[in-house]
Chain A
Amino acid sequence: MDTNIKILIVDDFATMRKVIRNLLKQGGYDNIVEAEDGVMALSELKANKIDFVISDWNMPNMTGLELLKAVRADGDLSKTPFLMVTAEALQNNVVQAVKAGVDNYIVKPFTADVLNEKITEILAKYKGG
């Protein structure tokens, strides 16, 4: 498994970004960049090669769902693996995210094992084509 992939964490709460970063480290992932909202994430995605996005849903300026739609609509970025990590667990939220092309969805609170399992699953899916 390639733990050198560049992962972008998008969350408006600095502590949550730190928590996710710590959990990723437990899975061996160390190549991490952060963004505070969808707008900053999108410019990071356009400026640098990002291999994997982990995004919150509720954020000011541009939500995680809007970011996901923008990524899927962009020819250069559309194939970027996208994992949503959010406190929004209502069925309608999950349906909206799946429709917009999310690769998987984790509901907070979650453990390091759950996070790393989902990442492995998504990467395997992309590798298998």
Chain B
Amino acid sequence: MEVRFINPFLEGTISVLKTMAFIEPKPGKPFLKKNNYAVGDISGIIGLTGSVRGSLALSFSERCIVKVVSNMLGEEIKTINGDIKDAVGEITNMVSGAARKKLEESGLILSAAIPTVVSGKQHSISHVMGGPSIIIPFETEHGPFVVDVCMGKEQ
């Protein structure tokens, strides 16, 4: 996967969490993911098609997502519930939109499908391309989450 694909997702993620949840996540060093297991307790995944095919997943620890969604909704949520699942889908959608806007500036036009959300310890994330994906780890004051991106070659 090309490195120039990574920054739009990194910047998109920071922008979404900062604007909608008032949390500024700190990105770590991206690395290649070796298996299909999600890093977090709940994940949103969305397929991308167009100039390239790929998919994007966001996988949150429970502690982190509970705080993110509590901030978004302006009400305290304690554990993963229906609101959290719904919000993870919407956050994935927004990150995909923000990243696709930035990718468009470098000539890559991508459209997105409807996101799906999976939760539970050690659930799996299957990318459309089936190939290795890049993990961008993030740290927040309320625990970690990762952005997991898999993109094919330009067509």
Contacts and interface: CB of A to CB of B under 8 A. Distances in A.
Q: A and B, one complex?
A: yes
B76 interface: no
B83 interface: yes
A91 interface: yes
B101 A109 contact: no
B86 A15 contact: yes
Contact of B86 (A14, A60, A90, A111): A14
A89 B90 contact: no
B114 interface: yes
Given A86-B97, A87-B93, A107-B101, A15 B19 contact: no
A16 B90 contact: yes
Interface string B91-125: 00110111011001000010100100000000000
Given A15-B90, A87-B97, A109 B16 contact: yes
A95 to B, nearest CB: 13
Contacts of A88: 97
A13 B90 contact: yes
Contact of A90 (B72, B73, B100): B100
14 contacts: A13-B89, A15-B72, A15-B86, A15-B90, A89-B97, A90-B109, A107-B97, A108-B98, A109-B15, A109-B16, A109-B19, A109-B20, A109-B94, A111-B19
A22 B72 CA distance: 9
Interface of B: 15-16, 18-20, 69, 72-74, 82-83, 86-87, 89-90, 93-94, 96-98, 100-101, 104, 109, 111, 114
A58 interface: yes
A86 B101 CA distance: 12
Given A58-B114, A60-B114, A109-B15, 13 more contacts: A13-B89, A14-B82, A15-B69, A15-B86, A87-B97, A89-B101, A89-B104, A91-B104, A107-B97, A107-B98, A107-B101, A108-B93, A109-B20
Contacts of B73: 15, 18-19, 22
Interface residues of A, number: 21
Interface string A13-49: 1111011001000000000000000000000000000
A110 interface: yes
B151 to A, nearest CB: 17
B114 A90 contact: no
Given A22-B73, A109-B16, A109-B20, A87 B96 contact: yes
Contacts of A60: 114
Given A22-B74, A110-B19, A87 B98 contact: yes
Contacts of B74: 22
